Amino acid sequence: MRFPLSMTAGMAGYIFRNKMRPRREWQQDSAAPGENNGTNPFQILHGQAGTSGRRTPHPMIRKRFPLVLMLEPLHACNLTCTGCGRIREYEPTIGQRVPLEECLAAVDECGAPMVSICGGEPLMYPQIGQLTAGILERNKHVYLCTNGMYIVRRLHEFRPNRRFFFNIHLDGMEKTHDLCVERDGVFREAIAGLKAAKAAGFQVCTNTTVYKETDMKEIEELFAYLEQFGVDGHQLSPAYGYSAVDDREIFMTRDDIHEKFKDIERLMKRYPLNQTPPYLEFLQGTRDLPCTAWGTPTYNIKGWKGPCYLITDAHYRTFEELMTKTPWESYGRGNDPRCEHCMAHCGYEPSAALGINAKPGDNLKMLTWALR
């Protein structure tokens, strides 16, 4: 994600502290030593084989700590988007909500400096204003991910804050977006919400999921259209093939993703993209990154979701259990077939932010990106 400079500096300080003093109990592997040696993709990224012939692990692979908490206070939504895994996977508990105090306890328990409130539609959560204020009081940065339809009616429950962003879901121009969310008029309502939030002094970003059918020229058209409203940043995410979504046609392979993002540099120069340059290079196919899903833990009605925002193999009662009981080394490309084509930001942005597989010149790129 792209942050204001103070936010970038705060995050850099947090990463530095955790690199220097990682919590020992979070760095253990659950698998026995030697397991996965033939297939672990991290080994490609690790140091060169020494005289013993064994590769040394990349130092950051075993420095696990959270960067962004994905907080899902509810899974209910007023829409039924084609590619949404949440409303399908959590259908049995869709009427339930995480109590406000429990949401704030999860924020404290995790300790990540940034919280992404998602769902479901968070603006359907009755205490969303109190929840956001409570997280901001804890000195965190907050992204509220919304389809935008309830912004106008609930805006009075929020106060502008330099650490708070509305993040509005827009998958294309009006016709395409309304098709993706399976309802006419959604684009217009989202834009009305965006305009109202900007007029009231809030910071607003957009989030676009890129599917196999997405025309990247239309995404450029969308960004050009949004420029007039002074949008503060854009996030582009390649769609992940949820097993809960029974439509394989809309999801992409890694090769498809590389093709879609091959001209991303041009967009990056012209518009404020939230993603870090190393992550965009990963999407382009010019850089490899390992999955570091522990960087973006998810909390919802069932507890701490492991291993990641996308795959559910377990729900843990405590954050400590998520960090210590998840067999992290068993996930990622080459270890789990479900990870094969995943290039989602929840697994790979932390790797970019942590400087894994860094190249000379990355620091300058990151500084230029932060200053833009």
Local structure of residue 300 (DSSP, 8 states): E
Which of 74, 77, 135, 144 binds ligand SF4 (CB under 6 A)? It is 77
Separation of CA 291 from chain center:
12
Task: Could you list the beta-strand ranges (E) of 179-239.
Answer: 203-210, 233-238
Task: Please give the Cα distance from 202 to 208 (Å, whole number).
Answer: 20
Q: Scanning residues 168 to 187, which ones bind ligand SF4 (CB under 6 A)? A: 169, 181
Residue 72 binding ligand SF4, by CB under 6 A: no
Given 58, 64, 86, 260, the residue binding ligand SF4 (CB under 6 A): 86
Sign of the alpha-carbon dihedral angle for 226, 227, 229, 230: positive
Can you tell me the distance from the alpha carbon of 100 to that of 135, in angstroms, rounded to the nearest whole number? 11
Q: Which stretch binds ligand SF4 (CB under 6 A): 24-32, 34-42, 64-72, 304-312?
A: 304-312
Shortest distance, CB of residue 334 to ligand SF4, whole angstroms? 10
- Out of 40, 307, 349, 356, name the contact with ligand SF4 by CB under 6 A: 307
Amino acid at 90: Y
Among positive and negative, which fits the CA dihedral 183, 184, 185, 191? positive
Q: Which of 293, 352, 354, 366 binds ligand SF4 (CB under 6 A)?
A: 293
- Residue 84, interface with ligand SF4 (CB under 6 A)? yes
Among 106, 219, 264, 291, binds ligand SF4 (CB under 6 A): 291
Beta strands (DSSP E) in the chain are 68-71, 114-117, 141-146, 164-169, 203-210, 233-238, 298-300, 303-307, 312-316
Q: How many residues bind ligand SF4 (CB under 6 A)?
A: 27
Assigned token pair, 146: 């919304």
Q: Read off the amino acid at residue 371.
A: L
Within 8 A by CB and 6+ apart from 344, the residues are 237, 238, 240, 309, 310
**Candidate list 344, 352, 356, 366; residue touching ligand SF4; CB under 6 A:** 344
Among the listed ranges 89-97, 278-286, 330-338, 355-363, the one in contact with ligand SF4 (CB under 6 A) is: 330-338
| Distance of closest approach, residue 115 Cβ to ligand SF4, in angstroms | 17
Is the Cβ of residue 8 or residue 293 nearer to ligand SF4 in the bound state?
A: 293
The interface region with ligand SF4, picked from 35-43, 83-91, 127-135, 222-230 by CB under 6 A, is 83-91
> What are the backbone angles phi and psi of residue 32, rounded to the nearest 5°?
-65, 150
Q: Which residue is nearest to ligand SF4 (CB)?
A: 347
Least distance to ligand SF4, CB of residue 372, Å: 27
Helix (H, G, I), strand (E, B) or coil at 178: helix
Separation of alpha carbons 234 and 215, rounded Å: 16
Site for ligand SF4 in 97-126 (CB under 6 A): 119-121
Residues found near ligand SF4 in the complex (CB under 6 A): 77, 79-81, 84, 86-87, 119-121, 147, 169, 181, 291, 293, 307-308, 310-311, 331-332, 338-339, 342, 344, 346-347
